[in-house]
Amino acid sequence: MVASLSSVVPGLALLDRRLIIVTGKGGVGKSTIAAALALVAARRGKRVLVCEVNAQERIAPLLGGPPSGESTHEVLPGLHSLNVTPRAAMREYGIMVLRYRALYDAVFENRVVRFFLRAIPSLSELVMLGKVLHEVRLVEKGRPRWDLVVLDAPSTGHAVQLLRVPRVLLDTVPPGPLRRDAEWMQALLLDPALTTAALVTLPEEMPVNEAIELDEALRHLLEIPRGALVMNAMPTARFSREELARLDELRQAAPPLGPAAQAAHFQGVRVAQAEEHLSRARAAIDLPLLLVPWLARERWDRSALEDVADVLQSQLEMRPVSLAAKAAAREGS
Quickly list DSSP for 91-158: HHHHHHHHS-HHHHHHHTTSHHHHHHHHTSTTHHHHHHHHHHHHHHH-EETTEES-SEEEEE---HHH
pLDDT values of the chain reduced to their tens digit, one per residue, 333 residues? 444 443 444 445 799 999 999 999 999 999 999 999 999 999 999 999 999 998 889 999 999 888 888 889 999 999 999 999 877 777 776 555 544 444 344 444 445 444 444 545 567 888 899 999 999 999 999 999 999 999 999 999 999 999 999 998 898 888 888 888 899 999 999 999 999 999 999 999 999 999 999 999 999 999 999 999 999 999 998 888 888 888 888 888 999 988 898 888 888 889 999 999 999 999 999 999 999 999 988 888 999 999 999 999 999 987 666 555 555 555 554
Q: Which pTM was predicted?
A: 0.86
**Residue 320 has what pLDDT?**
65
**Cβ contacts of 137 within 8 Å, gap of 6 or more:** 18, 144, 184, 188
What are the sequence ranges of the domains in the chain? 9-237+289-332
Residues in the chain: 333
Measured distance CA(210)–CA(24) in Å, rounded: 7
- In this structure, the strands spanning 19-24 and 148-152 are parallel
328 φ, ψ (degrees, to nearest 5): -65, -40
Number of separate helices (H) and strands (E) present in the chain:
13, 10
Helix (H) or strand (E) holding 195: strand 195-201
Measured distance CA(115)–CA(109) in Å, rounded: 10
Q: What number of CA atoms fall less than 13 Å from residue 169's CA on the CB side? A: 28
**Residue 156 has what pLDDT?**
93
- Domain 9-237+289-332 sits in which CATH superfamily? P-loop containing nucleotide triphosphate hydrolases (3.40.50.300)
